[in-house]
Structure 1
Amino acid sequence: MNAMGMTKALMEKTAQATARELGPGSDTSVSAVRYGNVMYSRGSAIPLFVRQIKAGKPITVTEPTMTRFLMPLRDSVALVHHAFENANQGDLFIKKAPASTIADLVSALKELFNVPDHPVEFIGWRHAEKLYETLASAQELASSEDMGDYYRIVLDMRDLNYKPYFSEGEEVTARLDDYHSHNTDRLDVAGVKELLLTLPEIQTELQAWTEVK
């Protein structure tokens, strides 16, 4: 986990500690939302790939089999609205999102910009880079509510008592898998293209590209 990830996790823990202290009967509810990189944000590779295509430079890819969640800005805003409307004390909300491999993302962009022969340069893994993104652990999912498009992870309000785990063999979590970009819905190249075309930034870039060509 990098510095940004650690600080985000710390803020989640701070919010949960505050919610636990306030308690369910408080007039103030504290909840949080969690999501990965937003498409075309500063943390997204998409604007970098577009700039490289437009400049005629090779598209730089670290590892083509890596997967990343694909979440438009509108979905992150909807997640916040969902939390405002549905949050109980200490809830953590996660928006379910599709993912794709970096290779399919690059192929989709090349097709959209009609540059099928544009070069791709594989530059190797960056420091601390992960093969996939994880949005929820198996332990968190064991205490979650599936709300269709969202997961609600409920804060454990019980007093901390570790005795049952040692003396009674209490099961800590159900046997679930983490929720990550390798096991979520996987978009193919056509699906990525369709999603990219819904982004205003991509529409603007394609219009400018067509005018230049």
Structure 2
Amino acid sequence: MLKNSTILVTGGTGSFGHAFIPMTLAKYNPKKIIVLSRDEMKQWEMAKLFSNDQRIRFFIGDVRDKDRLYRALDGVDFVVHAAATKIVPTAEYNPFECIKTNINGAMNLIDACIDQGVKRVVALSTDKASSPVNLYGATKLASDKLFVASNSSYALGHNTSFSVVRYGNVMGSRGSVIPYFMSIRDSGVLPITDPRMTRFMITLEQGVELVWHAFEDMVGGEIYVKKIPSMTVVDIAKAVAPSAKHEIIGIRPGEKLHEQMISSEDSHFTYEYPEHYKILPQINDWGNDAKRIKDGKRVPEDFIYASDTNTEWMSEQSLKSWVNAHHDTIGKI
């Protein structure tokens, strides 16, 4: 589907973009990938990596600016929406700015994609959008709802399909716990928020592959959730720095003890597949649509997909092996 197409990635200079762009160039050979972001230095650095590839274009812009989106989306077939204000404490202390980007920016993108005739849009979500307890999660829940509902929100109809991909913290991405632990492990002490805390573990490559699958599978309004393993934060710390001591510092404002990607309320509209789950929309009876369900099996009533009750767990040794294999790139993007 993506072969010989024009793709735009909002927030494309972030961790996801650094994985999605080279992987998509290699697998699908698209006609063009447009990187839209507001940080000129990140674009300058990224452009060096693709200096000889004429398929890459860079566009300075912000999802808050609808006029700029209209210009950037001219002739675009597919969009990946990765732009977001996503650091939990930052959102708590700067709520207006978080809402402007995560909610208003989503509305701008939806309108511009429909008006410019984009075929399909996949928006990146987060575990924090499921039963949110912080502002970041609440804005991403609102964003998810906007993308789901926008498949039918225009009176005269339109031809743009919107779906969502939801996953948790990406292993080794900038700002995640693994590079943070690595940066301070020589001190001999690692701060642990709560020894009971658990997190889902997903690689950037798995996130990209889930987006690819969404583009191929989507009808519109689906939320895709990858099946991935969990770890305790204590085991993550042991894998990164086996000899370091642990200092309990308490949970940060807005932080959850465990990650959740599917709530019990969503279970009535959730279907299971070999490698992922799919939450179908509750509106327009889409949750019973055979074209969206395909070969899925409905999950049990009151099913919850959370990091503490997960049936799949990553071992310390598996994480050690992954860290050793990716040592040079962890925390760089």
Q: TM-score, normalised by structure 1?
A: 0.77
Q: For 1:4, which of 113, 129, 136 is the aligned residue?
A: 136
Which of structures 1 and 2 has the bigger CA Rg?
Answer: 1
**Preserved CA contact (<8 Å) 2:182 2:241:** no
**In the comparison of the two structures, how many residue pairs are matched?**
183
Compute the displacement of 1:119 (Å): 2.5
Aligned residue number for residue 75 of structure 1: 206
What's the CA shift for 1:141?
2.6
- Given residue 106 of structure 1, which amino acid in structure 2 is its aligned partner? A
CA distance in 1, matches of 2:213, 2:154: 22
Q: Is the 8 A contact 1:20 1:90 kept in 2?
A: no
Structure 2 counterpart SS, 1:151: strand
Q: Report SS of the residue matched to 1:120.
A: strand
| Partner amino acid, structure 2, of 1:146 | E
Please tell me whether the aligned partners of residues 36 and 69 of structure 1 are also in contact (alpha carbons under 8 angstroms).
Answer: yes
Distance 1:94 1:86 in 2: 13
Structure 1 counterpart of 2:256, which letter?
A: K
- What stretches of structure 2 of length at least 5 have no aligned partner? 1-132, 286-298
* Alignment correspondent of 2:289: none
Determine whether 1:177 maps to 2:303: yes
Partner of 2:193: 62
Given that 1:37 and 1:71 are in contact with CA atoms closer than 8 Å, whether structure 2 keeps it comes out as: yes
Deviates more, 1:185-194 or 1:33-42: 185-194
Q: Which runs of 4+ in 1 moved over 4 A?
A: none
> Match for 2:163 among 8, 31, 41?
31
Aligned to 1:99, which of 230, 245, 248? 230
> Cα distance, 1:36 vs. partner?
0.9
TM-score under structure 2 length normalisation: 0.51
Gaps of 5+ in 1: 160-172, 206-213
What's the secondary structure of 2:170's corresponding residue?
coil
Deviations, residues 43-81 of structure 1 (Å, cap 9, x unaligned): 411111000114x25211111221000111111111111
Does residue 194 in structure 1 map to residue 321 in structure 2?
yes
- The question of 1:144 aligning with 2:276 is answered no
CA RMSD of aligned residues (A): 2.3
Q: Secondary structure at the match of 2:241?
A: helix
Report Cα offsets for 1:127-172 as digits up to 9, x if no partner: 232210000112223212212111111113437xxxxxxxxxxxxx
Q: Is the 8 A contact 2:200 2:231 kept in 1?
A: yes
Distance 1:41 1:203 in 2: 12
What secondary structure sits across from 1:19 in the alignment?
coil
Normalized per residue, the structure richer in strand is: 2
Deviation at 1:101, TM superposition (A): 0.4
Please give the alpha-carbon distance, in whole angstroms, between the structure 2 residues aligned to 1:157 and 1:124.
Answer: 40
Distance in 2, matches of 1:138 and 1:193, equals 33
Paired residue type of 1:100: M
CA apart distance, 1:9 = 0.9
Change (3 A) 1:187 1:107: same
Identity %: 33
Cα deviation 1:6-53 (Å, max 9, x = unaligned): 111111011111013269x85321111111111122341111100011
The higher-RCO structure (CA 8 Å, 6+ apart) is 1
Matched position secondary structure for 1:31? strand
1:57–1:119 contact (8 Å) kept in structure 2: yes
In terms of mean alpha carbon deviation, does 126-135 or 100-109 score higher? 126-135
Residues 140, 197 of structure 1: alpha-carbon distance in 2 compared, 3 angstrom cutoff: farther
TM-superposition CA deviations, 1:172-196 (whole Å, max 9, x none): x962231000122122322332343
Query: What is the alpha-carbon distance in structure 2 between the residues aligned to residue 147 and residue 182 of structure 1?
Result: 21
1:93: how far off? 0.6
Q: How far apart are the structure 2 equivalents of 1:106 and 1:152?
A: 32
Contact 1:132 1:182 in 2 (8 A): yes
Post-superposition offset of 1:83? 0.6
The residue number in structure 2 matching 1:45 is 177
- What SS is found at the alignment partner of 2:271? strand
Secondary structure in 1 matching 2:137: helix
d(CA) in 1 for partners of 2:140, 2:248: 30
2:148 and 2:163 in contact (8 A); partners too: yes
* Range that drifts further, 3-12 or 139-148: 139-148
Matched to 1:74, the amino acid is E
